[in-house]
Amino acid sequence: MAIETQLEPADWVPGSIPLREFNTQSSTPRRKDGPRRAPRTATGDDPWFTGGRSMRRSDANLFHVRHTNVGQMVSALFDADRWEPIDDLDRELRDVTYHRAVDSGTVRIAFDRPDVRNAFRPGTVDELYDALDHAKRQTDVGCILLTGNGPSSKDGGWAFCSGGDQTVRGEDGYQYEGDEEGEAQSASEDASGQGPRARASEQGRLHILEVQRLIRHIPKVVVAVVPGWAVGGGHSLHVVCDLTLASEDHAKFLQTDPDVASYDAGFGSAYLAKQIGQKKAREVFFLGKTYDAEEAVEMGMVNEAVPHEELEATALEWGERINAKSPTAMRMLKYAFNMTDDGMVGQQVFAGEATRLGYMTDEAKEGRDAFVEGRDPDFDDFPWHY
């Protein structure tokens, strides 16, 4: 039985979600007649509000999120026995949670703004970048799970990420929200020795693009674990990840950039076309259809869809499989896959890692030692392989 609720515009996520009514019989959204700011009626079949089905009594359990022993809010799917918090960053995390698996080299980084569909503001991006950079530097970590905590305490909805928070979008980018957020971020930067970032009311930020580049070049396998909506800039984030695992019950994929006069002209669009083809990628952006997990798998945008309650356990299994493989082989394979699309930047990254491998050989050691000792190198013992 469907339920009906009256929702005012203020109830909508501040990410890039336009006011529209979804036609649940197809992937094509159907716009309402009348002014865009009018209240809208949503039924329990509306996937944005209830994950594509009517609310059941058992859904009440989804509203109760658990906490770690350091007080961080964690997803209802989160198994506290399998994770431990990482608390050695130079900043306090407010919009992101960061954990490490207790029995494998896998970390979990999650958006933690479920009541706004995990939309990101500048402070969110700062925290996300720092957590990813920290994971990058852990030599015993081979897999990064990027996900979104949930569900929303307002309506039980799930989200991976709904993109940039439109309520803090300024003329030149996204603005820090008042002195509290700006000063908190600047203090964290001062403590880390990296210098202050832009304070509130100063320059706008678009540094989610820096996060995209970091994911692309990080020498680990990054898996997008999508429990619900991946929209706008959140859609682009899942595209740039190496793999995507989605909830077959709640995951929805929607690109709304043109609706809010935004566009990801890089990985979010051009790289998406590499994954699913030019015609389909243009459909995603130009028509703004909503796709469920099964459709996303069929078009090649998602690797696998699993039952919602199995999502994070499956993600951990993927992490264990990845960590069982050769770190060098996995790193070089990632950069080899990237190189054909990343031009000279991709070639430079791949070549740099090839140089590192070369440094590990006896031949390279002979060249170094000869220089340090002031003699001619003797390479006679090293074959010209073919």
Active-site entry in 44, 123, 148, 233: 233
Please say if 26 is a catalytic residue.
Answer: no
Active-site entry in 16, 156, 162, 174: 174
Please say if 153 is a catalytic residue.
Answer: no
Please say if 262 is a catalytic residue.
Answer: yes
Active-site entry in 79, 153, 190, 359: 359
**How many angstroms separate the CA atoms of 296 and 52, rounded?**
16
DSSP helix/strand/coil, 38: coil
Please say if 233 is a catalytic residue.
Answer: yes
DSSP state of 94: S
Active-site entry in 164, 232, 268, 319: 164
Please say if 291 is a catalytic residue.
Answer: no
Nearest to 130 by CA among 68, 207, 75: 207
Active-site entry in 257, 264, 292, 342: 257
Q: Which pair of structure tokens corresponds to residue 64?
A: 């109760």
**How many angstroms separate the CA atoms of 90 and 133, rounded?**
12
DSSP string of 126-150, one letter each residue: HHHHHHHHHHHT-TT--EEEEEE--
**How many angstroms separate the CA atoms of 169 and 121, rounded?**
9
Q: Which pair of structure tokens corresponds to residue 344?
A: 């000279």
Residue 192: Cβ within 10 Å count: 12
CB neighbour class for 289 (10 Å; exposed up to 12, middle 13-18, buried from 19): middle
Amino acid occupying residue 219:
P
Active-site entry in 115, 259, 262, 266: 262
* Residues that are catalytic: 164, 174, 233, 257, 262, 359
